[in-house]
Structure formats: C-alpha cells, structure tokens
C-alpha cells in the first residue's frame, strides 16, 4: 500500500472523523506511535486517534478498504508491544477517557482509553473500587480482557470477574454489547480472551466498597536474607485472608543505589484495625531495612509502584505459573538473580488466592484458577547497550526455572518472541472453545496483532 493511497483515504475520512488521523510526516506522529516499552519501535502507516465508537468503526472500515493490518492501543502497556504495528493502522483509543460512576448501583462505565489511575480517581470519590492493576498507568481494557491481577483480587476476584458488560466493534464494523444476557458466548470469550474478538470501546464493572483508606506498602530486607524472606513469604501465603494480598520480589533498592534487596509488598483492603493485626507478622519478621507498610489511600496503593516502571524504559519479560514454591525454586531464583545485569531488573512472585481462585476454570476464558504463584522475570534497563545481556539473562533465568513450572501461563505477560504455541498453552482446555467463538466473530483473523487465538477452520 503506497503512502499516497493511505494519505488519500485518510483525507477522505477526515471530514467526518472526530479524532485525529496522523501520518508519518505529521506533527505529533512520533509521540503518538510510542508505547510504554522503549524496546518497541514501530512505524504505523496511519494512527487513528479515536474519540468515539463511531471513530473506531470508521478506522476499522478504512483498514479493511486499504487491506492493512490493525493494532489496537488502549493504555499501550503490553510489554510485547502489540499495541502498535509497522506499516498498518494503529487504532488508538487513548483519547477515549469517559468515566461514569453509578454510586447507588455500585457500577462504573468507562471508555477503552482509560487507565486504572483515572478510573480509581473517579470511583474513589464515592469510596468504591474494582480490581485493577498494580501500576496505575496500565490501561483498563487490555488488563481486564487478558485477566486482571491486582490488589483486590483476593477479596473480589480478577478484573474480568467484575466485568458486567463490554461494547465491542467487531471485524465487520458492527457495534455489539456483550454481557451475561447479550451475546453470552462472546462475553465468556472476552473475559480472558484478550483483543481477539473486537475492539473494546467501553467496559462496565461492578464496584465494591473500598477505602478511601486501606493498608499497604513495601517491606525491604537485605539480599543476604533472600532465602529466609522467600520461605517466610511461602509460609505466610498459606493462611492469608481474602482481604490480604502479598507479593515477593528479588529486586533493587528503591533509593536508586542499585543495591540488591529482597522485598515483600502487601495490601489489606479491610478495616484498618483488622489490617494492622494481619500485618503484625510481616512487621515482626526481620528486622527489615525498610518498613513502609501503613495506612494509605487506595489511589496511593495503586500508584505505589509506578516509578519502578517508567515509560520509555526497555522491557523484556517472561513468566509462568509455578506448581509450588519449592525449596529448589527458591534456590534457583536466588542464584539467577545474583546474575541480574541491570539495576532495574527483578524476579517477582505474585500470589493468587481467595475469590480469584474460587471461580470455575471453565466459567470464563481465563482458565488459571488454582491458588498459587505466578513467577515473573522482569528485565528492565535504560541504556541500549545493555539490551543483549538483559534479554539473555531473562531467557537463561526462564530456562533455569523451567523444571518448576506448571502448565499455565498468563497471557498478559507473553512476550513477542515465544516459541511453540504459548497462547494455546495459556488457555489450556478453554482454547478450542475460544477458537470456535473466534471463527464466529472474526473468521478472517482480522484482529491478530495480539496474543492471537486462531479461528477454528
């Protein structure tokens, strides 16, 4: 497709398009094409910055007319960079920021470009919240459609478990609403199936009474106590209440010194007095180098880790669920982290329990409902010269940890260079049903710049 053809078609559409249509030579194009991961550097033929569902419909029609591939950007956080594309059309929802809270009915409606920080800001005006990500700059749509791990999942389930309805623009340009009553097969699929079935222009969630004050924060220990910290973490996670979340990490000190540390990060969404009692064992273990656990607003909790994931830093992640946090897994983690080449790298253990683990594996497309741990290798760096060794460390660590892996993987963390068929492995027993629904709503695989589910022939 020639540049002139794209320019001509964009000019024709611009008369009715409510947002912006940015071509490579236009002012603002270079900023608009960037996603969170600085390692991703792609140049779309056109960026359609949408302001409404009608704009999204027009952008889909334009891509179909021109025969161009499409990538869909919500928050742009996905580490694999699937929100952008070389030579195709980026359908950018980031200008779509509408949020409407029903404080009486305890629901919230939000457009597909909203981030968790923006959603929380509105819902917390009413002392309400829904499970969101652990970083506030993450988009609501991508995180929810792929799963939605977050600080409230022990009490209220994953983000997708709180989804009431979603409005989608399908590959044939139709606007459909999916819920338990409307298009129930599609609603089942989008709760875990990602962006495979359409573009989520708006999402509606159930809300819960949370905050504004909750309890949370990090507790940091010296790296020499890594084994003790991880064993303590393993023991602690066996008896957590639904309100209590606990993650563990081998990481680097937050003071910028680059010093290696072992950290626990925790939150409790129950009453402050109850939370204080629950936190006592964590505070008494040690002594730690830093104990910053205490009362904070839910919005502060959701922003707490933002500075650790700056926009534009280079990122390469690999992850897998663990069968258990065995002594061998702990020892291997410690050995591998000692070789971490970047002061922004970390190994993270996300514990899943409570409401998130009490949903049936077939009730939604998200199949991983066992209590346990998601293991994440997070290589992050700022200098291009560190790229090769940082990626090599992540890959080597993944191979070393492979003997401890369960069969499942979290699709939101899948990178772009995976071998085999990791998407099929991630969905397990639900994959064939997802393929059937994909064939119904997107038989030509128009939406394929994602953790792609191939339509069943």
Distances (CA, A) of 77 to 82, 186, 250, 310: 9, 24, 22, 11
User: What is the chain's mean pLDDT, rounded?
Assistant: 94
> What backbone torsions phi and psi does residue 212 show, to the nearest 5 degrees?
-70, -20
Q: Determine which of 69-78, 81-90, 413-422 has the lowest per-residue pLDDT on average.
A: 413-422
- Look-up of token digits 């161009």: 68
* pLDDT band for position 409 (cuts 50, 70, 90): confident
Q: Is the pLDDT of residue 6 over 80?
A: no
Question: Average of pLDDT values for 322-334?
Answer: 95
Report which of residues 179 and 7 the model is more confident about. 179
Q: Which residues contact 434 (CB under 8 A, 6 or more apart)?
A: 189, 193, 196, 365, 427, 453
Structure tokens given for 147? 């799963």
List of domains in the chain: 3-92 (3.30.43.10), 99-210+432-441 (3.30.465.10), 213-413 (3.40.462.20)
Residue 314 has pLDDT above 60, yes or no: yes
- The pLDDT tens digits of the residues spanning 8-50 come to 777 777 778 889 999 999 999 999 999 999 999 999 999 999 9
Query: Which residues, in sequence order, are bridge partners of residue 249?
Result: 263, 348
Q: What is the pLDDT of residues 259-301, one digit of tens each?
A: 999 999 999 999 999 999 999 999 999 899 999 999 999 999 9
The pLDDT of residue 1:
57
Question: What confidence score (pLDDT) does residue 2 get?
Answer: 61
């Amino acid at each position: 497709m020639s540049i002139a053809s794209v320019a001509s078609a964009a000019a024709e559409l611009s008369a009715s398009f409510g947002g912006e249509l940015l071509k490579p030579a236009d002012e603002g194009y270079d900023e608009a094409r960037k996603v969170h991961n600085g390692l991703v550097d792609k140049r779309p033929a056109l960026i359609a910055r949408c302001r409404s569902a009608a704009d999204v419909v027009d952008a889909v029609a334009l891509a179909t007319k021109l025969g161009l591939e499409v990538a869909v950007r919500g928050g742009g956080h996905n580490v694999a960079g699937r929100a952008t594309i070389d030579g195709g059309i980026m359908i950018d929802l980031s200008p779509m920021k509408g949020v409407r809270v029903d404080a009486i009915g305890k629901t919230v409606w939000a457009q597909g470009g909203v981030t968790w920080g923006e959603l929380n800001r509105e819902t917390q005006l009413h002392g309400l919240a829904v499970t969101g990500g652990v970083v506030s700059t993450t988009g609501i749509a991508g995180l929810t459609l792929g799963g939605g791990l977050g600080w409230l999942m022990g009490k209220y389930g994953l983000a997708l478990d709180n989804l009431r309805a979603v409005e989608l623009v399908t590959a044939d340009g139709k606007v459909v609403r999916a819920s338990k009553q409307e298009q129930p097969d599609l609603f089942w699929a989008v709760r875990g199936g990602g962006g495979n079935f359409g573009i989520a222009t708006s999402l509606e969630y159930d809300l819960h009474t949370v905050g504004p004050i909750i309890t949370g924060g990090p507790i940091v220990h010296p790296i020499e106590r890594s084994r003790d910290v991880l064993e303590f973490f393993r023991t602690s996670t066996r008896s957590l209440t639904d309100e209590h979340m606990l993650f563990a990490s081998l990481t680097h000190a937050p003071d910028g010194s680059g010093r290696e540390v072992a950290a626990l990060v925790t939150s409790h969404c129950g009453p402050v007095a109850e939370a204080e009692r629950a936190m006592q064992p964590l505070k008494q273990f040690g002594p730690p180098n830093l104990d910053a656990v205490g009362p904070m607003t839910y919005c502060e909790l959701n922003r707490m880790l933002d500075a650790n994931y700056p926009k534009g830093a280079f990122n390469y992640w690999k992850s897998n669920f663990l069968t258990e946090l065995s002594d061998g897994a702990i020892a291997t983690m410690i050995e591998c982290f000692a070789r971490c080449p970047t002061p922004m790298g970390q190994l993270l253990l996300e514990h899943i329990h409570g409401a998130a683990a009490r949903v049936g594996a077939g009730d939604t497309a998200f199949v991983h409902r066992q209590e346990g741990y998601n293991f994440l290798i997070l290589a992050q760096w700022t200098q291009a010269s560190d790229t090769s060794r940082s990626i090599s460390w992540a890959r080597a660590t993944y191979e070393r940890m492979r003997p401890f892996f369960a069969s499942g993987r979290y699709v939101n963390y899948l990178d772009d260079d995976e071998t085999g068929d990791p998407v099929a492995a991630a969905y397990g027993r639900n994959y064939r049903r997802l393929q059937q629904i994909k064939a119904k709503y997107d038989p030509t695989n128009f939406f394929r710049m994602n953790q792609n589910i191939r339509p069943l022939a």
